[in-house]
Amino acid sequence: MALSYKARKRWALFLLIIGIPVYIIACVTLVDFLRVTFGRPVILLELFLFVALGVVWAFPLKSVFKGIGQADPDQPTDT
């Protein structure tokens, strides 16, 4: 089921204000947990984890953010 433009705009705002900061905190906590559990990992492994976790969030949320900056396609245009 496709979301309307208004619903996608609301979800995008919610995700930017609440969702992504919570995700960032969870990622930093995960990497810190791995550092404490297994000792300081190789710096390249830690870099890879941060880069991978920094990119992974975008794939499932791509459909929500797509086209949000443009005008509402459902509204009639006044000419």
pTM of the model: 0.77
Alpha carbons 35 and 68: distance in angstroms, whole number:
38
Task: Report pLDDT for 1.
Answer: 58
Cα distance between residue 25 and residue 19, in whole Å: 10
pLDDT value, residue 51: 93
**Can you read off the two tokens belonging to residue 34?**
């791995």
Residue indicated by tokens 């992504």: 20
The rounded distance, in Å, linking the Cα atoms of 72 and 48 is 38
pLDDT level of residue 65 (50, 70, 90 thresholds): confident
pLDDT of residue 13: 92
**Exposed, middle or buried: residue 25 (CB in 10 Å: 0-12, 13-18, 19+)?**
exposed
Question: 35-59, pLDDT tens digit by residue?
Answer: 888 777 678 888 898 999 999 988 9
pLDDT at res. 79 = 60
